[in-house]
């Protein structure tokens, strides 16, 4: 196995902290959370107390000013134990950076310290019933009326949606201007007209709080505009490389976990008087999977080096997202097969991860859209 040189001793100490936290505060309760459809809110504050949230935020806003590799460690360890219910990554490394990068000083001081403490949970509302990967097609509107915007529309598949105390809502402030008329608004829990729908029941990620959101003439003060009016689409595009890398990071960590679970199983399980591991097909299949995961992790680590150096482009991040999530699903399918009938039993982590992984090829932009992004970087724009 190739030695990973991406992480320092401090990163590895943080990894040990994360592992201990997950083993104590998450793993024993995750099955219960899957049954109820969401994680207990208390785990958010415990994570904040442990210093696991918003680590890359500056100290003045409640974070540690740490590099993004600390969050990579958290994502890897969360994926390693199959704790798919936690929405920490989206909260800390998607919602918080939008506020940090585009928010006013007042917005930063109001939201970020509370988010770092786990007392305020963040979500971002992009997807609509009729608009997924195509963000230009959103129908939600926010029409300015004096000192406020009148927000109308609905969102779906929103991670952290039910628990959320603040939601970044993507809406059209100039509906006839297409993408150039898109803005981002900070909408707080309890604003009149803002309602949360049912928690959605999903194939996988069963412990993850995912819900519908509805906005009926919500008066959002103009002070809650995030960044500049009609610049929202540009902001969304600027943040996409890191968002897509997070999917790739989790994919490779989970694929490696699946291989490890399967190694333990095939060494113990006997068929026709000998272990499953003694069959050449088993050994060769696992050798193939481990090789491909090793290739994927090297690619992801290189992408992270580029991102840390502010040189990761959208096309390369799209390659990582599509290829790694495809590979994750392939690895899990093969590992389920090697588990035989037990691979279909929910009590086995490989089974739960098999269900959890399928959405990786969909969210963050479908893998088909990733290929469109890649081809455009090659000068192969689609003809209409």
Reading phi first (left if > 0) and then psi (alpha if -120 to 50, else beta), residue 154 is in beta
3-state secondary structure of 185: strand
Secondary structure letter of residue 93 according to DSSP: I
3-state secondary structure of 186: strand
Q: Pick from 182, 79, 96: which is nearest to 134 by CA?
A: 182
CB 78 within 8 A of CB 90: no
Residues ≥6 apart with Cβ < 8 Å to 116: 48, 53, 54, 57, 61, 62, 63, 96
Give the pair of three-digit tokens for residue 13.
């100490």
What is the DSSP pairing of strand 148-159 with strand 210-221? antiparallel
Residue among 243, 305, 368, 372 flagged as catalytic:
243
Instruction: Please confirm, yes or no, whether 243 is among the known catalytic residues.
Output: yes
Chain position carrying tokens 């608009």: 131
Secondary structure letter of residue 91 according to DSSP: I
Geometric angle at alpha carbon 320, from 97 and 262, rounded to 5°: 110
CA distance 174 to 158: 24
Geometric angle at alpha carbon 232, from 160 and 247, rounded to 5°: 45
Q: Pick from 87, 183, 154, 167: which is nearest to 123 by CA?
A: 167
**Cβ atoms within 10 Å, residue 64:** 15
CA distance 243 to 68: 12
CA distance 339 to 85: 24
CA distance 186 to 209: 20
CB 56 within 8 A of CB 71: yes
Catalytic positions are 243
């Amino acid at each position: 196995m190739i030695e990973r040189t991406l992480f320092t001793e401090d990163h590895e100490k943080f990894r040990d902290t994360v592992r201990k936290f997950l083993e104590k505060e998450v793993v024993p309760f995750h099955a219960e959370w899957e049954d109820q459809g969401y994680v207990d809110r208390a785990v958010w504050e415990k994570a904040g107390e442990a210093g696991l949230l918003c680590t890359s935020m500056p100290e003045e806003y409640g974070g540690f000013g740490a590099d993004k590799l600390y969050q990579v460690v958290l994502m890897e360890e969360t994926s390693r134990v199959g704790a798919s219910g936690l929405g920490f990554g989206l909260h800390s490394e998607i919602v918080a950076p939008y506020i940090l990068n585009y928010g006013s000083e007042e917005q930063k001081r109001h939201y970020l310290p509370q988010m770092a403490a786990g007392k305020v949970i963040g979500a971002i509302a992009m997807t609509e019933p009729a608009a997924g990967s195509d963000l230009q097609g959103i129908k939600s509107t926010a029409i300015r009326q004096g000192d406020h915007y009148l927000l109308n529309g609905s969102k779906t598949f929103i991670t952290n949606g039910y628990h959320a105390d603040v939601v970044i809502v993507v809406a059209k402030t100039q509906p006839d201007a297409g993408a150039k008329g898109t803005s981002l608004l900070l909408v707080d829990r309890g604003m009149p007209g803002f309602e949360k729908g049912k928690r959605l029941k999903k194939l996988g990620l069963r412990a993850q709080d995912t819900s519908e959101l509805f906005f009926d003439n919500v008066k959002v003060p103009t002070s809650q505009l995030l960044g500049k009016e009609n610049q929202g689409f540009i902001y969304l595009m600027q943040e996409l490389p890191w968002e897509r890398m997070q999917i790739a990071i989790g994919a490779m960590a989970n694929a490696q976990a699946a291989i490890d679970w399967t190694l333990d199983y095939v060494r113990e399980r006997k068929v026709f008087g000998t272990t499953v591991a003694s069959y050449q097909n088993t050994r060769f299949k696992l050798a193939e999977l481990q090789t491909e995961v090793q290739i994927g992790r090297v690619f992801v680590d290189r992408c992270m080096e580029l991102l840390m150096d502010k040189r990761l482009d959208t096309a390369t991040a799209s390659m990582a997202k599509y290829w790694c999530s495809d590979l994750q699903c392939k690895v899990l399918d093969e590992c389920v097969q090697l588990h035989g009938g037990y691979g279909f039993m929910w009590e086995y982590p490989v089974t739960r991860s098999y269900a959890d992984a399928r959405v990786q090829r969909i969210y963050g932009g479908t893998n088909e859209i990733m290929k469109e992004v890649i081809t455009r970087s090659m000068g192969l724009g689609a003809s209409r």
